[in-house]
Structure 1
Amino acid sequence: MVFKALSNETRINILIWLKHPGLHFPAEELRDYDANLGVCVSDITKKAGLSPSTTSDYLSILQKCGLIEATRAGQWTYYRRNEGAIETLNTLIRKSL
């Protein structure tokens, strides 16, 4: 399932954007950024240029395979990378391929 999640350029871009949010999202959108929470789904949607439903589908796919984590805060959902899972995948690829 992980490789299927990574077969889409936008999903890969989301992972890249979440690695260094300060480089990929305007400062005004990250004004209240908290690394423990991550980036708000609305900011990811805007950056991706996709509909909210498509963005939610993409984030769900990444979350189901463990590459990102979601945190709900009030009415907002925030996403951040699961660095442990990404490092495990990186190790697996290096050793197996």
Structure 2
Amino acid sequence: MKHIDIFKALSNETRLNILKWLKEPEKNFPKQQAHLPKEVSIEGGVCVGDIQDKVNLSQSTVSHYLSLMQKAGLLEAVRYGQWTYYRRNEDTIKKVAEFMEKEM
């Protein structure tokens, strides 16, 4: 885990908000998984389009933000058909919190 990449990813208010919102996806993205058939469940995953609607930025900007956060290990991505769903990587978030508590 490269801490500098994580802190760079978190240095933007919108990216920080996305990470916070994904902590409670049912509350913050009520229409999540609208593109999925009922038999498919992506636990905690939210479609890029739903995130884009909430942040009110271009699809390319949101995709870039999500990619940065995924490369830093803060998010996991799952593809289903043409849609990509993102959810928090709780393991990495826990390690960052432990690092902050121990090292900072």
Q: Which residue of 2 aligns with 1:6?
A: 10
Q: Deviations over 1:55-83 (max 9, x none)?
A: 00000000000000000000100000000
- Name the CA shift for 1:81/1:31 in 2 (closer, same or farther; >3 Å): closer
Distance 2:47 2:76 in 1: 12
Q: Per the alignment, in what secondary structure is the counterpart of residue 14 of structure 2?
A: helix
Residue from 30, 33, 36 that aligns with 2:32: 30
Residue from 81, 96, 104 that aligns with 1:89: 96
Distance 1:95 1:39 in 2: 32
Identical counterparts, % of pairs: 54
* Preserved contact between residue 66 and residue 85 of structure 1 (Cα < 8 Å): yes
* Preserved contact between residue 76 and residue 88 of structure 2 (Cα < 8 Å): yes
Q: Which runs of 5+ in 2 are unaligned?
A: none
Residues paired across the two proteins, number: 95
TM-score of the superposed pair, with normalisation by structure 2? 0.85
Consecutive aligned runs of 4 or more in structure 1 exceeding 3 Å deviation: 31-35
Q: Which runs of 5+ in 1 are unaligned?
A: none
* Preserved contact between residue 38 and residue 78 of structure 1 (Cα < 8 Å): yes
* Preserved contact between residue 41 and residue 77 of structure 1 (Cα < 8 Å): yes
Q: Deviations over 1:25-59 (max 9, x none)?
A: 2x3x1365845360011000100110000000000
Following superposition, the deviation at residue 91 of structure 1 comes to 0.2
CA-based RMSD of the aligned residues comes to 1.5
Q: Per the alignment, in what secondary structure is the counterpart of residue 79 of structure 1?
A: strand
